Structures are given as C-alpha cells and as structure tokens.
Amino acid sequence: MNLDAIREQFEQRAFNYDGLIFRLIPRYREQHDVILHLIPSETNANIKVLDLGAGTGILSAVLLSAFPQAKVLAFDMAENMLKICQTNFSAFGERLTLQQGNFAEDDFGSGYDLVVSGLAIHHLDSAGKQELFHKLFHSMNPGGILLIRDIVTGATPRLTEQYEQLWRQYMKANGEDDAAWFQKYLEEDIPSSVEEQTKWLAEAGFADVGCHWRYLNFAIFGGVIPR
Ligand SMILES: C[S@@+](CC[C@H](N)C(=O)[O-])C[C@H]1O[C@@H](n2cnc3c(N)ncnc32)[C@H](O)[C@@H]1O
C-alpha cells in the first residue's frame, strides 16, 4: 500500500483513535511509563523534542506534562490527526507546535534533545528505516536520546507468527475484529525486527543502542547521540 493510501486510512481513523488504540495495542499505557523512565533529563530541563508520527499527540502530551519546560514538535502526515492534537492539547500553548509532513521526505528540523516515535516508522521499508535513522542522527544534539516504540517482527518467522497470534487474541478479547485488523496490518505495515533495527541505529552512529522493553511484537528501543 502506498503512503497516500496509508495517510487516508489515518485521516479516517483520527476521530476514534484515542479510544481504539488501547484496544489494539497491548500495554499501551505501560509503554509511556517506560519511555518516561528512560529519559534522564531533569524534570525542569528546557528540552527540544520531536514526536515523529505524533498522531493525536498522546505521546507528545505525556512528555509535555512530565517536562514542564519542554517544547514539542508533533510531526505527522495526517491533517485530521494534527487537528485533534491541536484541539485536545491547546492548553500547552506555544510549547506544542504541529507540522504536517512525511518524515521520509520532508524536513523536520534539527537541534533535538529527544526524539520519540510511536507506531509510525514501521510504515517504511528496510531501506527507508535506515535512511530515516541517518537523518535522525543528523537532526539531534550530542547527548540526544532517540526512543522508538513500534510494532516489530520476531527474531525468527516462528516467533513472529506466535507473537501475531497472541496479538490477535488481545484484540479479539477487547471486542475488535482481529481478522480485519490483521488483514490491514498485512496490507499497510512493514515491520522489521528489533535485531535489525538496533543494528541499523548503531550503523547510523547512535551509541548505547538497545531494546529497553518488549512484549510480543511490540518494542521500545533506541540509542543516544555520542557527546
Ligand atoms: C498509529 S499512529 C501513532 C500515533 C502515536 N504516535 C502513538 O504512538 O499512538 C501512526 C501515525 O504515524 C503517522 N505516519 C505514518 N507514516 C508517516 C510518515 N511517513 N510521515 C509522517 N507521519 C506518518 C500516521 O499519519 C499516524 O498518525
């Protein structure tokens, strides 16, 4: 599926995303706690943050709340997602800015102390992910932290299949049509393994690359820019 078709899917999903995501992604809230624990900055640090594929801004808001001096750029290709982000989080005022664009092609700025990306990078193929990791490396400050939470494959095809079955059971138990969602996943998503992606991050120049959390086919991983 091409990017325009994927964007159209997200334009439509924007309106019920905030409720839906908890029924589709296991331990979604727990992932936010892990991400916060992994950011060693002082709570009052004046950090510049990029949220790539920010959607309705759930992760941006978690960071803006935890770091009252932080400024976040919520970057996303779907206009409706950003409109909802703006409506839900206008209370953050100028600390939250929005930009519509495709992170694979468009400029998303530089000088970031922290980059987060939730459930978005898996729309790029292997070459696209590697290119993005290089672009991110050059957009971040020394000491900057990159944290990616995404859907991933297992280290072997058998593990991937096992994780995907368990993921479907999770969606079904929440009243979702797991067969329909799984079909969309097969059409829209191009997940890579944690093993591949951590290798690509190290190749792009990131240090302290690692996988910090994992549950089935969901993981939080990343690295830091050497000082
Ligand atoms: C599943 S939502 C994730 C929202 C939020 N980050 C979260 O963790 O819940 C994925 C978002 O990534 C955006 N996205 C996917 N590929 C993108 C790209 N190449 N450039 C910009 N945004 C992209 C979609 O528009 C969508 O809003």
What residues make up the domain containing 69? 3-224
For ligand 1, atom 12: residue with the closest CA: 53
As for ligand 1, residues whose beta carbon falls within 6 Å of it are: 7, 10, 21, 53-55, 58-59, 76-78, 81, 102-104, 118-120, 123
**Ligand 1 atom, smallest distance to 149 CA:** 8
The pTM of the full predicted model, rounded to 2 decimals, is 0.97
Number of domains in the chain: 1
Answer positive or negative: Cα dihedral of 136, 138, 141, 142. Answer: positive
Two tokens at 90? 């206008």
**Ligand 1 atom, smallest distance to 117 CA:** 6
Beta strand residue intervals within 128-204, DSSP E: 140-151
For residue 76, what is the domain's CATH number?
3.40.50.150
For ligand 1, atom 20: residue with the closest CA: 102
Q: How far is CA 182 from CA 112, 154, 188, in A?
A: 35, 16, 10
Tens-level pLDDT at each residue, the chain (227 residues): 788 999 999 999 999 999 999 999 999 999 999 999 999 877 778 999 999 999 999 999 999 999 999 999 999 999 999 999 999 999 999 999 999 999 999 999 999 999 999 999 999 999 999 999 999 999 999 999 999 999 999 999 999 999 999 999 999 999 999 999 999 999 999 999 999 999 999 999 999 999 999 999 999 999 999 99
For ligand 1, atom 26: residue with the closest CA: 55
